[in-house]
Amino acid sequence: MMAALLLMILCISTFGFLGILFADIVASVAASGSLLRYQAVTVIVTLFAPVAVASTVCTVVFLLAGDYIGAAFALLRLVLNYRHWKRLRSDDNWWKGRGKKILGSINRAFDKQAPTAAGAGA
């Protein structure tokens, strides 16, 4: 069971990295401001979080297993993804500004006051 979970995490890390690499190639040949670049950068930003988590888990597992070369490569992949994500943060993508909108809608949903009885209070 644990081996299957670790294999799944390794696959997410590896194939997610390959997805980011492919989307980066597409984004590099697309013109700035085009729909193709917008879509490619959206894919990169979307894949970053699961790949970062999976790479971190892989690094820890490799270190605990004593595979220092595997840990070095997993850490290198994590660092390269992070640097790439930092470079693309200023680019336009679907997620830009969504965090504030999502948090605002969550706050509005939980800020609704409980209905009061008619005539109660002031």
pLDDT in tens, 44-72: 888 888 888 888 888 888 888 888 888 88
37 CB neighbour count, 10 Å cutoff: 19
Q: In this structure, is residue 45 part of a structural domain? A: yes
Q: In this structure, is residue 85 part of a structural domain? A: yes
Q: In this structure, is residue 76 part of a structural domain? A: yes
Q: Per-residue pLDDT for 115 more than 80?
A: no
Q: In this structure, is residue 122 part of a structural domain? A: no
Is the pTM higher than 0.85?
Answer: no
Domain extent for 78: 10-93
pLDDT in tens, 101-111: 777 888 877 77
pLDDT value of position 113? 60
Across residues 64-86, what is the average pLDDT?
85
Q: In this structure, is residue 43 part of a structural domain? A: yes
pLDDT value of position 119? 59
Domain count, the chain: 1
Q: In this structure, is residue 28 part of a structural domain? A: yes
Q: In this structure, is residue 14 part of a structural domain? A: yes
